[in-house]
Amino acid sequence: MEFDSDWLTLGRHRVCLRSPRGFPTESMRTAVDVIRIAIENNMSARARLVDVAVREEKAYDISVGTTFAEDRLCAPQLEAAVATVLGLLPSQVRIFVTVVTQEEVDLHFGVYERMLAEKISGLPPIRRTAQEDVDRPRGMSDTSHLAAEPKPGGLAARAQP
């Protein structure tokens, strides 16, 4: 079990909090909430807070994912605003905006937040293991039973007058 990171859900954001000196503190959670509010009010609706890491004493690296390229333009102003609210120097807050295409999102079957976590945080993609394939009952992937003829006396036969 890792004691240097924690996952937090804030509205539509699924955030990984990382702190190399130990488990993320309550002050870090408060900072993440301030960052979330800043992103929701200043970036597009597709912007998601993905990862917040503490670099040094009260210095934050913030990763944001979006499908809207213009979200990159407001990152410097957000860095200064978040630093001011948290009582930090502007150099202590860095925001990295990663832009992905809608096609990449579609390849993940619309699971936007998971795709951003894989791309930005280095989270491994979800994969089915070989053991799951062995444990699955045989014939589950065979769909030939769906096209079979209805059985005599079944529901279809009763529905006909």
State if pTM tops 0.85: no
pLDDT > 90 fraction of the chain, expressed in percent and rounded: 29
On the CB side of 103, CA atoms within 13 Å amount to 0
Q: What would the pLDDT profile of 47-84 be if each residue is shown by its tens digit?
A: 888 889 988 878 999 999 888 889 999 999 999 999 99
pLDDT for position 93: 95
b/e map of 4-21 (b: 16 or more CB within 10 Å)? eeeebeeeebbbbbbbee
Q: What is the mean pLDDT of residues 4-16?
A: 82
Q: What end-to-end distance do the CA atoms of the chain give, in Å?
A: 64
Kindly report the CA angle at 44 between 39 and 45, in degrees rounded to 5?
A: 90
The CATH classification number of 5-120 equals 3.30.429
Q: Which of 142 and 103 is assigned the larger pLDDT?
A: 103
- Give the model's confidence band at 98: pLDDT under 50 very low, under 70 low, under 90 confident, else very high: confident
